[in-house]
């Protein structure tokens, strides 16, 4: 082992971005263990890596005493003064104890230790790199399936796409190029593990940030996102400049921007609505593409009572209550819907004083004529009762819906 070893360590320092001092300290520590193990030595042993042709040298620290009782840890005063004339009893002195065949042992040990340290450094580097990317979107290539899990190559590592984060309608074929949301980075005995997602609502947010320059520049802001992965999503947007239409910026020329996001999500429908500070207006917008006649809000219960035209009731509710369910998630309000005809029938059926006192949520959702009183919890019952038949909904709506 000669000075070329130092040059090899310097090359590793540049290639793997591991400080030379760290490599040398690691090698020296391992060589101390190897020396004690192979030569059955006890005491304070030190190993120094020399930058000259001398290679490795082993030094043992011993205490200077009048009479030696432990030759491994002590040295007689006269012998110590042959090395250093100024030493006195009680001082410590370093003696070189490098064995003849230590070069071979050192070479084997150093190789093993350096390779192990490189692997650990690479793992730490990958962990740190991807920990900084948590919450971002990266492009990956589908590599393989193992049972229900999918592994996606995202650069330096194969990320795990678990079944719980997969969209059931997406194929995930080998070599498919997809964008994924980095959900979490874990330390495992086999190295760092990156967990990714295709169902997270923030995936929509990040994709629009990539496609819409106004969002990246901070002119347009995504206020909230509601998503049912693989089926439909709603986003609420606002603009800090009056001249910039937030919905138009997200839709793009002839729908080019929103269509790019839709294509990435395998034709998942996306509704883009304007965000309003006033809850009633925001709730009315969130039920798009349905038209709303009036909205009454109750700030204490965080609920809203919405009236829609008769021909807009099924559209406002959506298939299996999906539209009103997403609107409730988008706004954070509990939404109760009535049509004009239902409101008129309730007014005729109930006495005037009872109609004024009876809250909307006490109306039995099982009665067919009142089944449109929809909340997020009762939406599916409403559809089953026959009040909300499925309607064809295009990918890009003309009334600010994509």
Q: What is the 3-state secondary structure (H, E, C) of 265-325?
A: CCCCEEEEEECCCCHHHHHHHHCCCCCCCEEEEECCCCEEEEEECHHHHHHHHCHHHHHHH
Residue 359: predicted pLDDT: 53
What is the third-level CATH fold of 133-199?
A: OB fold (Dihydrolipoamide Acetyltransferase, E2P) (2.40.50)
Domain ranges within the chain, ordered by starting residue: 4-130, 133-199, 200-275, 279-396
DSSP 255: G
pLDDT at position 77 over 80: yes
Sheet holding 220-228, edge to edge: 220-228, 232-239, 269-274
Closest CA to 141 of 107, 189, 173: 173
Share of the chain above pLDDT 90, in %: 49
pLDDT at position 301 over 50: yes
Q: Residue 48, Cβ neighbours under 10 Å: how many?
A: 15
* Reported confidence tier of residue 334, pLDDT bands at 50, 70, 90: very high
Overall pTM surpassing 0.85 (yes/no):
no
Instruction: Quick: pLDDT tens for 27-41.
Output: 777 777 776 676 655
Are the CB atoms for 162 and 135 separated by under 8 Å? no
Is 4-130's fold the same as 279-396's?
no
Are the CB atoms for 207 and 232 separated by under 8 Å? no
Domain at 200-275, CATH from 3.30.750.24, 3.60.20.30, 3.30.300.20, 3.40.50.300: 3.30.300.20
Which CATH architecture is the domain 4-130 placed in?
2-Layer Sandwich (3.30)
Give the CA distances from residue 282 to residues 171, 227, 236, 295, in Å, rounded to whole numbers and listed in that order. Answer: 36, 17, 9, 10
What's the average model confidence in pLDDT over 269-276? Answer: 94
Of residues 123 and 375, more confidently modeled: 123
Domain 279-396 homologous superfamily, CATH: K homology (KH) domain (3.30.300.20)
Q: Where are the beta strands (DSSP E) in 118-231?
A: 137-146, 149-153, 158-161, 177-188, 191-197, 220-228
Residue 43: predicted pLDDT: 58
pLDDT at position 72 over 50: yes
Are the CB atoms for 206 and 164 separated by under 8 Å? no
* Reported confidence tier of residue 170, pLDDT bands at 50, 70, 90: very high
Of residues 13 and 318, more confidently modeled: 318
pLDDT at position 390 over 60: no
What's the average model confidence in pLDDT over 131-159? Answer: 93
Instruction: Quick: pLDDT tens for 93-135.
Output: 877 766 666 667 666 777 787 788 778 888 888 999 999 999 9
Of residues 366 and 299, more confidently modeled: 299
Residue 313: predicted pLDDT: 92
Structure tokens at 359: 């809250």
Q: Which of 49-53, 65-69, 223-227 has the highest mean pLDDT?
A: 223-227
Residue 30: predicted pLDDT: 76
């Amino acid at each position: 082992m000669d000075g070329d070893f130092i040059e090899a360590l310097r090359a590793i320092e540049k290639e793997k971005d591991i400080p030379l001092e760290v490599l040398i300290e690691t090698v020296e520590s391992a060589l101390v263990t190897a020396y004690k193990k192979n030569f059955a030595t006890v005491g304070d042993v030190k190993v120094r890596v020399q930058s000259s042709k001398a290679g490795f040298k082993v030094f043992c620290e011993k205490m200077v005493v009048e009479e030696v009782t432990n030759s491994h840890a002590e040295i007689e005063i006269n012998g110590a003064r042959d090395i250093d004339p100024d030493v006195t009893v009680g001082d410590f002195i370093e003696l070189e104890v490098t064995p003849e065949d230590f070069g071979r042992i050192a070479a084997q040990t150093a190789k093993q230790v350096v390779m192990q340290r490189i692997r650990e450094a690479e793992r730490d580097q990958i962990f740190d790199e991807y920990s900084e990317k948590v919450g971002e979107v990266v492009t990956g290539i589908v590599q393989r399936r193992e049972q229900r899990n999918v592994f996606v190559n995202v650069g330096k590592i194969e990320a795990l796409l678990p079944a719980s984060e997969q969209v059931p309608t997406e194929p995930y074929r080998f070599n498919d190029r997809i964008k994924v949301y980095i959900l979490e980075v874990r330390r495992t005995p086999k190295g760092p593990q990156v967990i990714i997602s295709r169902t997270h609502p923030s995936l929509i947010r990040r994709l629009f940030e990539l496609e819409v320059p106004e969002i990246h520049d901070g002119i347009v802001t995504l206020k909230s996102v509601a998503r049912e992965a693989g089926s439909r999503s709603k986003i609420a947007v606002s603009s800090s400049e009056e001249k910039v239409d937030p919905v138009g910026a997200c839709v793009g020329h002839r729908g080019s921007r929103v269509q790019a996001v839709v294509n990435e999500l395998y034709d998942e429908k996306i509704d883009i609505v304007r965000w309003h500070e006033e809850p009633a207006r925001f709730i009315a917008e969130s039920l798009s593409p349905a038209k709303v006649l009036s909205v009454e809000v109750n700030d204490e219960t965080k609920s809203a009572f919405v009236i829609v035209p008769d021909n807009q009731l099924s559209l406002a509710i959506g298939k299996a209550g999906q539209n009103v369910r997403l609107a409730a998630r988008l706004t954070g309000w509990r939404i109760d819907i009535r049509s004009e005809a239902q409101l008129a029938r309730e007014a005729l059926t109930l006495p005037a004083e009872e109609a004024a006192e009876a809250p909307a949520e006490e109306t039995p959702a099982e009665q067919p004529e009142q089944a449109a009183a929809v909340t997020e919890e009762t939406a599916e019952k409403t559809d089953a009762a026959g009040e909300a038949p499925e309607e064809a909904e295009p990918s890009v709506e003309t009334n600010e819906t994509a």
